[in-house]
Amino acid sequence: MKRYALGLDYGTNSCRSLIVDLADGRELTGAVFTYPSGEAGVLSNPHDPNCARQHPQDYLDGLATVTDAIRQARDVEPGFDPADIVGIGVDTTGSTPMPVDADGTPLAMKPEFHDDLDAMAWLWKDHTSHAEASEIRQQAADLRPHYLDQSGGTYSPEWFWSKVLHCRRAAPRVFEHAYSFVECCDWIPAVLAGDTTPDRLARGVCAAGHKAMYSADWGGLPDAEFLEKLDPALAELRPRLYDRAATSDRPAGRLSAAWAEQLGLQPGIAIAVGAIDAHMGAVGAGITEGTLVKILGTSSCDMMVQPTDGEITDIPGVCGIVDGSILPDCYGIEAGQPAVGDLFLWFVKHLVPDRYGATLDEKFAALADAAYAQKPGEHGLLALDWNNGNRSILADARLTGLIVGQSLHTEAHEIYRALIEATAFGALTIIEHMEEHGVRVREIVNCGGLATKNPLLMQIYADVTGRPMKVSRSEQTCALGAAVFGAVAAGAFPNVARAQAAMCGIREHVFEPDTDARKVYDELYDLYRRLHGAFGTTSSPGTLHRVMKALVHLRERQRGEYCA
Amino acid sequence: MKRYALGLDYGTNSCRSLIVDLADGRELTGAVFTYPSGEAGVLSNPHDPNCARQHPQDYLDGLATVTDAIRQARDVEPGFDPADIVGIGVDTTGSTPMPVDADGTPLAMKPEFHDDLDAMAWLWKDHTSHAEASEIRQQAADLRPHYLDQSGGTYSPEWFWSKVLHCRRAAPRVFEHAYSFVECCDWIPAVLAGDTTPDRLARGVCAAGHKAMYSADWGGLPDAEFLEKLDPALAELRPRLYDRAATSDRPAGRLSAAWAEQLGLQPGIAIAVGAIDAHMGAVGAGITEGTLVKILGTSSCDMMVQPTDGEITDIPGVCGIVDGSILPDCYGIEAGQPAVGDLFLWFVKHLVPDRYGATLDEKFAALADAAYAQKPGEHGLLALDWNNGNRSILADARLTGLIVGQSLHTEAHEIYRALIEATAFGALTIIEHMEEHGVRVREIVNCGGLATKNPLLMQIYADVTGRPMKVSRSEQTCALGAAVFGAVAAGAFPNVARAQAAMCGIREHVFEPDTDARKVYDELYDLYRRLHGAFGTTSSPGTLHRVMKALVHLRERQRGEYCA
């Protein structure tokens, strides 16, 4: 008998349903739904560029992709029976919390908060909570330094407590009416299970640990005294949040009869505990101890796991290390680069003349062709990939880009190649940093749009790191990872590793490092590290860190912008 | 009675004749002739991108501009009589030497050397003599260090002896048939005087001192022993060159009857000793003690004078300090930046998308409009203007460009502004360096294409330096300077200063520094100096000089190019 799992992946602009064969990981169909609200699902405030919200109704409407996927599956596989879908997994962006009432209904869906941006889901990339993030980071550093252990010593405006505290201050009416706050990845499984009551719904350890300072080690969320000091209202909210969080191999609940009927699925099938997209993506790419999964899109997420029964030291400058956030019984380690695809897109949009092509796609293709024809080092250029700051290993969002080596003959495709190389040097820096802290990288599996669509980048990554670059077989590793958890939560496999062995794989073509190119890149990497130290740290002799920082301060002062 | 002087200006791609009223410097007419040979006068070798030559016949054909200018003058000024032209001055590019026979006829004009590139004039920007320049520099540093005093401690492939030695080695047949070698600026006056015999023709101290290691202090050109050591043939050539050189207030000769008839001028009028264009341009812009003349074109030439009866110390890293090369009885001081207009042209050609405009002119205009709207520092960027190396004060042609501070929102017009600012910081560095070495800058007069056509650049220069930027009234300061010398050589004025007072002037509009902008630029200049030290010198702590150099070496190695 055939058995399938359903993966639901909620992204920034769209969501998708993927039906996967448990026998071999074959992806039957994938249906996509672009959110109708705002600009591709993102609601913005014309008076505040930092604001990014989503309407939860879009998430519910997106469940129509399940019936679409079933319909398509019947077309491609005669005899397909949706009753053979045994479990559902859900991943979403995060931290994307929303204020809900005592029934778990988002305030945004209640008439009295209709059109109130502060009652919506606060999308991961909402940056309105700058000041609160600084305050929380500072107070934690002073009073509870261990609260920052899981997040590389920092606390981001993008994370749970920053957003909740900002809501309390900037939108007190919304805060007062909120019984609780629920992450998107926890809310969707609860909806499907037919019970969104905040006190009962399962919270995933992934969002809790990486975004809300949750740890079983200190009994859950930050203690009441700590929260009280930030704002008494947070301490008052604390009991209406949660004190336990679960891994995604566990069921969050069972599919309700109502949703089963609406979606055309069997009632009672397992719904796994939700998690953040990159973490489930790592599982879909086949993560295991020693495997670095690089999710290469607008930014990069570099995911690893390390068994909790082994040794793990603190890894400074790595965004997150959370027990169970990727695989059960493993620490989930998350590092990354805040601009990869975004860096290339910036360059091609703003600095490439039209003789390379009329559209962005044409320009990218022509740049790649021309860059491919060059030997490493031939352009004489070296760049720092910090246009959007450096997440790992410097953990400094306020660094900037740099390019050196230009002559009067330097052309756009040479700079394009130098920018790809810069992201590769940044990637190697993370790998070396992980290994220096005891996390061995034995294999690298890449996934995401750049991994499948940019062979020049993959080859350069192989040449720069001196390691083979494998590419995940799936183009939807997040949804696939969700399906893996759906299957495990349903008991179709005894554990995640067995499910991965059956359902995940890599492509036949592996990008192997070229020995000659490697030698040149070794020289260039030495130079990159010199610049990295000089501009990124204050400890190198003759540091130029102050120069980069002074430029950012000056820019903000002259623009009249927020100044940290 | 009206009196006029004629200025003849021989550039890289064209030459022009300017008729100037001695009473007030009014420029009656200017006639231009684009050289017909090669690509706008430049003859290149498809097998060697370093080769740049000119055919001397183009220079003779260019004298037709004199009759054109006279014809036009009659149109604009009824009653104009060419008999009222009292003197002629000539400036040309340099060092642009040509091999000549015993009559001073260029070998290029003899049938047996027809089509031989090595028998042509070796244009200033010919770079075939790399190896010879290194050899000469090294030998001078070892044996006659004072020979390098006039040229900031270096010797360029663009200069006289590098070219002559390379001719000897690479084109021995041409060298053997050459009775002598004559600079273009010395040859044209001799032609007009009807006697090009090398042993008799007047050599200008400007080209001799700046390009051929000539100084009256050591009895003329480098001594025979020194030349012998480079190549015995150079020592053998030495007596057929010259041992005295003259300033341009002196007549090189009198207009011959034949040329007078052909050009429609009076026979016997004075022809001034020739000089290099930038030096005569400085005179046309009104140079005097304390005035910095900036000639702003593809590159910048920064010219100053200092009386020979005062103190002058060595100014390290300044290209040339030669007695009499600009004004008689003054040291002529030449510094500069090797890419100014060229830097902007590179950027706009290679890195500006077409939404700024379809043509280069449209792009420049749109970039300037958008950049003008920005406050200093608002773009958060800082650049080093070294895409073509740094002439002053680092005297290192093998440095490269740098830009730092890019975000994911940085736009082309912001980089354009940052590049203009970088050249301004480079200009300020030169000014401060001059003043530190005792050469006071009391006034700055700008001329050249950028000075008259780029008000954004002029304003930024004023704001960055904190000094008013004056602009020369004439758009043809080189030809005007030549006319000034023509008038002085003819005895129409007792000295150059009196001629300048009558004939030269500045425009009414002066770009005044803005106090607020100045303050921001003071901060940015501090940061620029940090980068300047770190990347341009080996002496700053934690220098990154090695990074920049290593990139250049790697580029050349990977391209299989010449490696110094």
Q: pLDDT tens-digit profile of B95-138?
A: 999 999 999 999 999 999 988 999 999 999 898 998 999 999 99
Distance, in Å, from the CA atom of B10 to the CA atom of B181, rounded to the nearest integer, reads: 18
Report cis status (omega within 30 of 0) of the bond before A393.
yes
Predicted pLDDT at B561: 62
Angle at B30 between CA B26 and CA B33, to 5 degrees: 165
pLDDT in tens, B142-194: 999 999 988 878 899 999 999 999 999 999 999 999 999 999 999 999 999 99
Which chain B residue shows the shortest CA-CA distance from A557? Answer: B378
Predicted ipTM? 0.91
Asked whether the beta carbons of B311 and B364 are under 8 A apart, the reply is no
3-state secondary structure (DSSP) of residue A550: helix
Question: To probe the interface with B, which of A404, A552, A561 has the most B CB atoms within 10 Å?
Answer: A404
Asked whether the beta carbons of B29 and B73 are under 8 A apart, the reply is yes
Amino acid at A151: S
Residues 530-549 of B with CB under 8 A from A: 530-531, 534-535, 540-544, 546-548
CB neighbours of residue B96 within 10 Å: 31
Is the per-residue pLDDT at B263 higher than 50?
yes
Distance, in Å, from the CA atom of B396 to the CA atom of B405, rounded to the nearest integer, reads: 25
DSSP designation for B408: T
Distance, in Å, from the CA atom of B87 to the CA atom of A468, rounded to the nearest integer, reads: 77
Question: Which of the following CATH numbers is that of domain B293-471+514-564: 3.40.50.1000, 2.30.30.100, 3.30.420.40, 3.40.50.300?
Answer: 3.30.420.40
Tell me which residue has tokens 């398509």. Answer: A72
* Cβ contact, residue pair B387, A410, below 8 Å: yes
3-state secondary structure (DSSP) of residue A247: coil
The residue ranges of every structural domain in chain B are 4-275, 293-471+514-564
Which residues have CB under 8 Å from A495's CB, separation 6+?
Answer: A249, A328, A488
CATH numeric code, A4-275: 3.30.420.40
Q: Is the dihedral of CA A491, A497, A502, A507 positive or negative?
A: positive
* Cβ contact, residue pair A377, B557, below 8 Å: yes
Predicted pLDDT at A562: 47
CB neighbours of residue B111 within 10 Å: 5
Across all residues in chain B, what is the average pLDDT? 95
Distance, in Å, from the CA atom of A22 to the CA atom of A38, rounded to the nearest integer, reads: 37
Of A510, A488, A509, residue with least CA distance to A273: A488
* Cβ contact, residue pair B351, A378, below 8 Å: no
Which chain A residue shows the shortest CA-CA distance from B560? Answer: A378
Amino acid at A218: W
Looking at the complex, does the CB of residue A527 fall below 8 Å from at least one CB of chain B? Answer: yes
B395 phi and psi angles, rounded to 5 deg: 50, 50
Predicted pLDDT at A561: 62
Asked whether the beta carbons of B332 and B279 are under 8 A apart, the reply is yes
Where in A167-209 does DSSP place strands (E)?
A: 180-183
Predicted pLDDT at B512: 98
Tell me which residue has tokens 């010395």. Answer: B186
Within 8 A of B407 by CB-CB distance, chain A residues are: 387-388, 400-401
Question: What percent of chain B stands above pLDDT 70?
Answer: 99
Within 8 A of B400 by CB-CB distance, chain A residues are: 380, 404-407
Which chain B residue shows the shortest CA-CA distance from A541? Answer: B542
Q: Which two tokens stand for residue B91?
A: 């400036």
Distance, in Å, from the CA atom of A350 to the CA atom of B355, rounded to the nearest integer, reads: 10
Q: Which two tokens stand for residue B419?
A: 């590049």
Distance, in Å, from the CA atom of A13 to the CA atom of A277, rounded to the nearest integer, reads: 13
Is the per-residue pLDDT at B550 higher than 60?
yes
Q: In what order do the strands lie in the sheet with A470-471?
A: A320-323, A330-337, A300-307, A291-296, A443-447, A470-471
DSSP designation for B266: -
Looking at the complex, does the CB of residue A401 fall below 8 Å from at least one CB of chain B? Answer: yes
B289-317 average pLDDT score: 90
Looking at the complex, does the CB of residue A554 fall below 8 Å from at least one CB of chain B? Answer: yes
The residues with which B306 forms a beta bridge, in sequence order, are B331
Which residues have CB under 8 Å from B66's CB, separation 6+?
Answer: B6, B8, B17, B31, B263, B264, B265
Q: Which two tokens stand for residue A406?
A: 């230009």
Distance, in Å, from the CA atom of A411 to the CA atom of B394, rounded to the nearest integer, reads: 26
pLDDT in tens, B351-367: 999 999 999 999 999 99
Q: How confident is the model at residue B464 (pLDDT cuts 50, 70, 90)?
A: very high
* Cβ contact, residue pair A406, B409, below 8 Å: no
B386 phi and psi angles, rounded to 5 deg: -110, 25
Q: How confident is the model at residue B542 (pLDDT cuts 50, 70, 90)?
A: low
B485 phi and psi angles, rounded to 5 deg: -70, -35
Within 8 A of A404 by CB-CB distance, chain B residues are: 400-403, 535, 547-548, 551
CB neighbours of residue B303 within 10 Å: 27
Predicted pLDDT at A279: 97
Report cis status (omega within 30 of 0) of the bond before A392.
no
Is the per-residue pLDDT at B564 higher than 50?
no
* Cβ contact, residue pair B408, A342, below 8 Å: yes
- Residue A72, CB half-sphere, CA atoms under 13 Å: how many? 16
Q: Which two tokens stand for residue B146?
A: 């004072």
Report cis status (omega within 30 of 0) of the bond before B506.
no
Looking at the complex, does the CB of residue A412 fall below 8 Å from at least one CB of chain B? Answer: yes
Give the residues of chain A that fall short of pLDDT 70.
541-542, 561-564
3-state secondary structure (DSSP) of residue B275: strand
Of B264, B170, B522, B209, residue with least CA distance to B376: B522
* Cβ contact, residue pair A534, B530, below 8 Å: no
- Is pLDDT larger for residue B15 or for residue A560? B15
B518 CA: distance to closest CA in chain A (Å) = 13
pTM, full prediction: 0.92
A343 CA: distance to closest CA in chain B (Å) = 7
Amino acid at A62: G
Predicted pLDDT at A190: 98
Q: What kind and span of H or E run contains A464? A: helix A455-465
A416 CA: distance to closest CA in chain B (Å) = 11
Q: How confident is the model at residue B15 (pLDDT cuts 50, 70, 90)?
A: very high
Residues 180-239 of A with CB under 8 A from B: none
Q: Which two tokens stand for residue B488?
A: 């002085």
Question: To probe the interface with B, which of A521, A551, A552, A561 has the most B CB atoms within 10 Å?
Answer: A551
Q: Is B81 exposed, middle or buried (0-12, 13-18, 19+ CB in 10 A)?
A: middle
Looking at the complex, does the CB of residue A514 fall below 8 Å from at least one CB of chain B? Answer: no
Q: Do domains B4-275 and B293-471+514-564 have the same CATH topology?
A: yes
How distant, in Å, are the alpha carbons of A130, A133, A204, A432, A536 from that of A392? 20, 18, 24, 11, 11
Residues 312-341 of B with CB under 8 A from A: 339
Question: To probe the interface with A, which of B345, B351, B384, B402 has the most A CB atoms within 10 Å?
Answer: B351
Amino acid at B124: W
* Cβ contact, residue pair A403, B408, below 8 Å: no
Residue B558 is nearest to which of A353, A375, A547, comparing CB atoms? A375
Q: What kind and span of H or E run contains A489? A: helix A477-489
The residues with which A211 forms a beta bridge, in sequence order, are none
Of B358, B342, B543, residue with least CA distance to B448: B342
Q: Which two tokens stand for residue A228?
A: 């009280």
* Cβ contact, residue pair A408, B339, below 8 Å: yes
Predicted pLDDT at B11: 94
